[in-house]
Amino acid sequence: MVLAIDIGNTRIKAAVFEDSKPVEIVILNKEKLISDIDFILKQFQKIDTIVVASVGNLEKNTFLTFENKVSVFFISKETKFPFHNLYASPDTLGIDRMVLSAGAVLQFPNQNRLVIDAGTCITYDFIDSKNNYLGGAISPGIRLRYEALHQHTAKLPLLTKKYPENTIGNSTQESIHSGVINGVILEIDGFIEQYKTQYAKFIIILTGGDGDFLAKRLKNTIFANSNFLLESLNQTFQYNQK
């Protein structure tokens, strides 16, 4: 069994895998991370490997404390990935985007893929049918947009995400919801339409903390999977084992 841990910008998410099947998915507490992991290892005593990918600031030493119990596999730029990286600045490509792209290649072979990760940032990653990673885009996520409106203006309130009641907001709060949520939806659909001008066919994978929130509002057909990064972590590890 494998314990996959994704350390993001805002939260730490983990999943226990038996082969390719997730049997437990949890959110870990950063302040109690070691005790949380220790609890999982006691609960699932067949776990023999911890796989970690991080865009956060946690030190590797946090996980090395478990090396007397299990193997610890860190996903890094030196890890083998199942695609050709054609990014002009490969050293700046985030590990999370690389893992998501690896998962897209391994889960959806021989086709063009667009991975959209709607988290703290919204990232777009395109991998063609020949397994060439071409790049994509990065924009602020939903929470960042609400925070920017509040922090960089004198009077606009800080709101939590909510579907707008109407495109035309009839109050300041509804106008903010319309601007943020409709703006994100139109952005994502717009990017997809732009990709369609270059590629006739591709599968769209939507993931991230806001993925399920957005999925039903997008006009394009998508494969929505909020746990796609965790699954991709496990698959990247298995790919390296082979």
The pLDDT tens digits for 54-102 are: 886 667 788 888 998 999 999 999 999 999 999 999 999 999 999 999 9
Q: Are residues 103 and 216 in the same domain?
A: yes
Q: Which of 46, 74, 102 marks a domain boundary?
A: 74
- Catalytic (active site) residue 96: yes
- Res. 42 pLDDT band, cuts 50 70 90: very high
Cβ atoms of 173 and 159 within 8 Å: the answer is yes
DSSP assignments along 163-218, one per residue:
--S-SS-SSHHHHHHIIIIIHHHHHHHHHHHHHHTT-S--EEEEESTTHHHHHTT-
Q: Which of 28, 54, 74 marks a domain boundary?
A: 74
Q: Which domain holds residue 194?
A: 84-233
Catalytic, out of 6, 36, 96, 117:
96
Tell me, what's the pLDDT at 145?
A: 98
Q: Within a 10 A sphere around the Cβ of 13, how many other Cβ atoms?
A: 19
7 pLDDT exceeds 70?
yes
Tell me, what's the pLDDT at 130?
A: 98
Tell me, what's the pLDDT at 196?
A: 95
Q: Are residues 39 and 154 in the same domain?
A: no
Q: Which of 33, 53, 74 marks a domain boundary?
A: 74
Q: Are residues 69 and 90 in the same domain?
A: no
CATH code of 51's domain: 3.30.420.40
Would residue 239 count as lying in a domain? no
Tell me the average pLDDT across 194-211. Answer: 95
Would residue 238 count as lying in a domain? no
For residue 119, what is the DSSP state?
Answer: S
Would residue 221 count as lying in a domain? yes
Query: Per residue in 148-185, pLDDT tens?
Result: 999 999 999 999 999 999 999 999 999 999 999 999 99
What is the model's pTM? 0.93
Q: Are residues 48 and 98 in the same domain?
A: no
Higher local confidence (pLDDT), 104 or 60:
104
Would residue 204 count as lying in a domain? yes
- Give the total number of structural domains in the chain: 2
